[in-house]
Amino acid sequence: MAFTLEERQQLNIHGLLPPCFLSQEVQVLRILTNFERQASDLDRYILLMGLQDRNEKLFYKVLTSDIEKFMPIVYTPTVGLACQLYGLAFRRPRGLFITIHDRGHIATILKSWPENVIKAIVVTDGERILGLGDLGSYGMGIPVGKLALYTACGGVKPQECLPVMLDVGTDNEELLKDPLYIGLRHKRVRGQAYDDLLDEFMQAVTSRYGMNCLIQFEDFANANAFRLLHKYRNIYCTFNDDIQGTAAVAVAGLLAALRITENKLSDHTILFQGAGEAALGIANLIIMAMQKEGTAEDEAIKKIWMVDSKGLIVKERSSLTLEKKRFAHKHDEMKNLEDVVKDIKPSVLIGVAAIGGAFTKEILKDMASFNKRPIIFALSNPTSKAECSAEQCYQVTQGRGIFASGSPFDPVTLPDGRTLYPGQGNNAYVFPGLALGIVSCGVRHITDEVFLTTAEVIAQQVSEKHLEEGRLYPPLMTIQDVSLKIAVKIAEQAYSNNTASFYPEPKDKEALIRSQVYSTDYDDFMAESYAWPQEAMKIQT
């Protein structure tokens, strides 16, 4: 409906469309009107995914028109429900579904994908979707949602992105009995066969798309997440968002909080509720940040405590993983989080165990009694898994709590009249800008320093006014600008430390990055349409 009369005549579609000409802005208005008419957030998700299938330009125009409004729909928390009901919401496949039975043929499957240039892949095996557990093939909603944010928040071109589901089965009995389930109907395959599938996949991707193709691992179970990251990080251009992306956004929030507490990160005692991928990733990046302040590594480790499903992690505990042993201190065993908080007296409490309500009123009161400005991060997703709400934190601490969450919470007005806007520690602040920077200059191996740099850039975008409002992150409406700054800084570092592979080195790194950014306007599409009138007809009608 946006084609002019001349364009319709040239494309030989005049008469096949109603005579009215609608601008892209009017089309956005139509989508927004239909969006508001939907009865639930799941219906809104389905509406937007349908738009993505038939008109990508308009889809991203809508998302970027109000990213703060649409991000909770296309990603957390609504995407969690969408994944649980993926069989019901399924309309049209997006991305590639590769199964354990496709071993030996993955290269052929990749060739069936119509795009020859892929710069970024998000891949999952569906075993640990958000805080919801094993959703098998229903987990495809996560790579699709992540890559939508690659484009909406970072400007990575959608045609250069590929979501992948590695289906090795599921141990979720409800899904195996579900007639609508779209995945393999058998238990998860593990061991050598699983490893062989991953090895073949990584090799096939780089053979087809090159060593510079970014591969983001998403929502793998703890046992595989760390192992695969260590196995592949120095061979391929890869990272694990649950470990490293979560670490970057959490540390960004902590760095911003330091401007309120007016001290150093190494002055704090940090307690984690959880000791999985997210907790360990955050803890390791905190150590790096403390070392940058001048604190020795062993002293930094002493500042960090962790509680898992068995209680406080201590040296006397048997059967600790190598990653957990690093944070096991000499201390009596303790089971209850409230008791641990009373004993350790942390100044920073971080929840990443997906145990809804874990930060009880008693815990929040204790945190407020130990600290003038307690730092409380309830980072678990979706909202139902949050350790506490923003309102609970602010009310119990009488507005002194420095709060951030993984899922969005509404502003809270305190009895004294102040209104606080809780910061959402969403990984979307990290991976779109990081990906844009990586693919723009051809970084082949992603180091932990990249994530600390990303955290620093995000924290720098938080103004004094934001801090006064309770925000530890820049407003989501500025996320495209934040992503651009992250990408430019990554490119500058890559060329300064010789990790970039695209030469000659551009004099103006920002101009290079901006030239890579996707345009949501129809103008670019119109110019391309004349060469492919049938494709234009398919998309526009």
Per-residue HEC secondary structure of 144-210 comes to HHHHHHHHHHHCCCHHHEEEEEEECCCCCHHHHHCCCCCCCCCCCCCCHHHHHHHHHHHHHHHHHHC
CATH 3.40.50.10380 residue window(s) in the chain: 75-240
CATH 3.40.50.720 residue window(s) in the chain: 241-520
Residue 416, Cβ neighbours under 10 Å: how many?
A: 7
Hey, which CATH number is domain 75-240, 3.90.420.10, 3.40.47.10, 2.40.50.140, 3.40.50.10380? Answer: 3.40.50.10380
Checking if the pLDDT of 194 tops 50, the result is yes
Cβ density class 20-45: b for 16+ within 10 Å, e for less: eeeebeebbeebeeebeeeeeebebb
Pairing of strands 304-308, 238-240: unpaired
CB 366 within 8 A of CB 340: no
Checking if the pLDDT of 537 tops 50, the result is no
Cα-trace Rg, the chain: 24
How does the average pLDDT of the chain come out, rounded? 94
Checking if the pLDDT of 529 tops 50, the result is no
Report the pLDDT averaged over residues 451-474.
Answer: 97
For residue 427, say whether it is annotated as part of any ligand binding site. no
Query: Which sign, positive or negative, has the C-alpha torsion 158, 36, 478, 452?
Result: negative
For residue 381, say whether it is annotated as part of any ligand binding site. yes
For residue range 317-337, list pLDDT tens digits in order: 988 988 899 999 999 999 999
Q: Residue 421: what are its φ and ψ, rounded to 5°?
A: -110, 100
For the annotated catalytic residues, the residue numbers are 75, 146
For residue 128, say whether it is annotated as part of any ligand binding site. yes
Answer whether the bond into residue 408 is a cis peptide, omega within 30°: no
For residue 263, say whether it is annotated as part of any ligand binding site. no
CB 244 within 8 A of CB 217: no
User: 76, 5, 50: which is closest to 406 by C-alpha?
Assistant: 76
Helix pair 431-441, 479-496: axis angle to 10 deg: 40
pLDDT at 536: 41
Hey, which CATH number is domain 241-520, 3.40.190.10, 3.30.310.10, 3.30.1600.10, 3.40.50.720? Answer: 3.40.50.720
CB 11 within 8 A of CB 530: yes
Checking if the pLDDT of 492 tops 70, the result is yes
Structure tokens at 141: 């909603």
For residue range 235-247, list pLDDT tens digits in order: 999 999 999 999 9
Report the pLDDT averaged over residues 20-29.
Answer: 96
For residue 178, say whether it is annotated as part of any ligand binding site. no
User: 142, 33, 122, 147: which is closest to 82 by C-alpha?
Assistant: 142
For residue 373, say whether it is annotated as part of any ligand binding site. no
pLDDT at 90: 85
Report the pLDDT averaged over residues 206-210.
Answer: 97
Percent of the chain whose pLDDT exceeds 70: 97
Which helix (H) or strand (E) segment holds residue 77: the answer is none
The conformation of residue 139, written as its DSSP 8-state character, comes to G
The conformation of residue 53, written as its DSSP 8-state character, comes to H
